[in-house]
């Protein structure tokens, strides 16, 4: 995104900053005079805080006749982290980890993040004296601008009260650092400043546009599948919910369509599921989605396969983008003395698929538009 913007804007660019997941940004800095910071995701790191503070400083350096161009993608919530007053990076890390373990979706997670931050929820644009134009690639179902990257340049309708309700729903007060709960209570009582709301004059000169999202990934997949001779069916409704439950229900719906689809068939969908972590294993939502489909495929009586991948090439805290299962997975697992349900119980899908060589490893793709699911029927 930075390279493309620099090519389009030329010498009008005075200064730039790239904050990305390693090795994102490395190639860009070889051709751009931009600072590059390798930050953390999905949990913010010290470099995430440095990136956030440098972004705020860059915005504040803007002259009234200049424009701040923000190129935003999924993951920005963790990549740019500036703790609010009374909150430390460690508090934000612990809060993020608890919400992720408890299965909070991105809307809930980012509502809390915005109310622990000095950059999210419109604060970045509020710092800029001049115009602010944001071009966003969305990894959020519904493309809500206030949720993409936790909306650093747009007004925020959520409140401290909303954030407090979320932390109480996903673990309760005792599951979070005491200063986090204190800030929520202070904000709900009006003792801490709310995020900028719609109509806030500080955001009058800010505009934001979504330039890419999950449907673009589906379109590319459908085009490639069609070129390979598949009859393509697109499911536009977002695939959401807990991965281990959503995977089987989605697959059953796809198999129910099988009789009315020409063969070979490719059914394409997208969205973002969640995982409630109760075990000590290794995996991600796409790997759990796929693993939960293994037994259904074995009983389907047809040649079929299901893949679920993160479009950023990273599924949870692993080096895999996701995994693939087919109608032979269960039989191969039994031969290897692997029990799928046991791996699911431990949230250990990565180790299951690693032993069957069925992980999908792409490396970081440089973009993020959520998750993609592909069902193939022979």
Residue pLDDT, tens place only, 288-345: 999 999 999 999 999 999 999 999 999 988 999 999 999 999 999 999 999 999 999 9
CA distances to 142, 193, 222, 240, 248 from 374, rounded to whole Å, are 20, 45, 10, 15, 13
Kind and range of the H or E element at 168? helix 160-169
**Structural contact between residues 279 and 347, judged by C-beta atoms closer than 8 angstroms:** yes
The CATH H-level superfamily of 2-212 is Glycerate kinase, MOFRL-like N-terminal domain (3.40.50.10180)
pLDDT, tens digit only, all 378 positions of the chain: 888 898 999 999 999 999 988 765 445 555 577 889 999 888 899 999 999 999 999 999 999 999 999 999 888 999 999 999 999 999 999 999 999 999 899 999 999 999 999 999 999 999 999 999 999 999 998 899 999 999 999 999 999 999 999 999 999 999 999 999 999 999 999 999 999 999 999 999 999 999 999 999 999 999 999 999 999 999 999 999 999 999 999 999 999 988 899 999 999 999 999 999 999 999 999 999 999 999 999 999 999 999 999 999 999 889 999 999 999 999 999 999 999 999 999 999 999 999 999 999 999 887 889 999 999 999
Phi-psi region of 136 (alpha: psi -120 to 50; beta: other; left: phi over 0): beta
CB-based burial label for 63 (10 Å; 0-12, 13-18, 19+): exposed
Range list for CATH 3.40.1480.10 in the chain:
214-377
Q: Is 56 helix (H, G, I), strand (E, B) or coil?
A: helix
CATH 3.40.1480.10 describes domain 214-377: yes
Helices (H), 231-270: 243-256
Range list for CATH 3.40.50.10180 in the chain:
2-212
Q: How far is CA 35 from the centre of its chain?
A: 24
Bridge partners of 137, per DSSP, are 212
Does the pTM surpass 0.75? The reply is yes
The separation between the first and the last C-alpha atoms of the chain, rounded to the nearest angstrom, is 38
Per-residue pLDDT tens digits for 252-266? 999 998 889 999 999
């Amino acid at each position: 995104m930075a390279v493309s913007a620099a090519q389009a804007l030329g010498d009008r660019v005075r200064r730039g900053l790239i904050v990305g997941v390693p090795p994102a940004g490395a190639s860009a800095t070889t051709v751009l005079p931009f600072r590059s910071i390798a930050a953390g995701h999905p949990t913010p790191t010290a470099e995430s805080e440095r990136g956030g503070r440098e972004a705020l400083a860059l915005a504040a350096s803007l002259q009234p006749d200049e424009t701040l161009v923000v190129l935003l993608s999924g993951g920005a919530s963790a990549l740019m982290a500036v703790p609010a007053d009374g909150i430390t990076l460690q508090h934000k890390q612990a809060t993020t980890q608890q919400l992720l373990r408890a299965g909070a979706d991105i809307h809930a997670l980012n509502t809390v993040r915005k109310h622990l931050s000095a950059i999210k929820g419109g604060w970045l644009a509020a710092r800029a004296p001049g115009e602010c134009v944001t071009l966003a690639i969305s990894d959020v179902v519904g493309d809500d601008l206030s949720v993409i990257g936790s909306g650093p340049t747009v007004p925020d309708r959520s409140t401290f009260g909303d954030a407090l309700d979320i932390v109480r729903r996903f673990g309760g007060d005792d599951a979070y650092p005491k200063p986090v709960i204190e800030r929520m209570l202070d904000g709900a009582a009006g003792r801490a400043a709310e995020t900028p709301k719609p109509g806030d004059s500080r955001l009058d000169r800010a505009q934001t546009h979504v330039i890419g999202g999950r449907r673009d990934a589906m379109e590319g997949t459908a085009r490639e599948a069609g070129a390979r001779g598949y009859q393509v069916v697109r499911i536009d409704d977002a695939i959401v919910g807990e991965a281990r439950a959503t995977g089987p229900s989605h697959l059953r719906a796809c198999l129910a369509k099988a009789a009315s689809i020409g063969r070979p068939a490719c059914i394409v969908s997208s969205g973002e599921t969640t995982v409630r972590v109760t075990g000590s294993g290794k995996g991600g939502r796409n790997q759990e989605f796929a693993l939960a489909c293994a037994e259904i495929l074995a009983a389907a009586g047809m040649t079929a396969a299901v893949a679920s991948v993160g479009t950023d090439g990273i599924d949870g805290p692993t080096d895999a983008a996701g995994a693939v299962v087919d109608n032979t997975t269960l039989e191969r697992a039994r031969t290897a003395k692997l029990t799928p349900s046991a791996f699911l119980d431990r949230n250990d899908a990565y180790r299951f698929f690693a032993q069957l060589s069925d992980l999908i490893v792409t490396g970081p793709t440089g973009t993020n538009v959520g998750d993609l699911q592909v069902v193939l029927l022979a």
